[in-house]
Amino acid sequence: MPTHHGPRRARIAFSDAAAKQLENITSESELHALDRALVVISVDPGAGEPLPGDSSGPALRQYTDEVEAVRVLYFVTALRTVVVVAYIEV
């Protein structure tokens, strides 16, 4: 019997700056809130709003969860298989 999987998730990668921010998060509740936001972005990389800017670099997006008080700036690779997190605010 075939198994039905949900939508394919994009892989999450962190910029050096975001990785340092991640290291500084020590609260279990903040980590949980960030994890929930990253799951949303990995399932739907277009979930965030595009940020205004020029076309010289990747198109940055912002995902904000007001309930969990999380803000993530990220960009998505061309094939939408990798989400690169550039900035984290918890």
Domain boundaries, the chain: 11-89
**How much is the pLDDT for 1?**
54
User: Band of the pLDDT at 3, cuts 50, 70, 90?
Assistant: low
Asked if residues 80 and 50 have their Cβ atoms less than 8 Å apart, the reply is no
**pLDDT of 22 above 60:** yes
Mean pLDDT across the chain: 90
Q: What are phi and psi of 8, to 5 degrees?
A: -70, 135
Q: CATH number for the 11-89 domain, one of 3.20.20.70, 2.60.40.10, 3.40.640.10, 3.30.2310.20?
A: 3.30.2310.20
**How much is the pLDDT for 8?**
83
Contacts of 16 (CB under 8 A, 6+ apart): none
**How much is the pLDDT for 54?**
75
pTM (predicted TM-score): 0.85
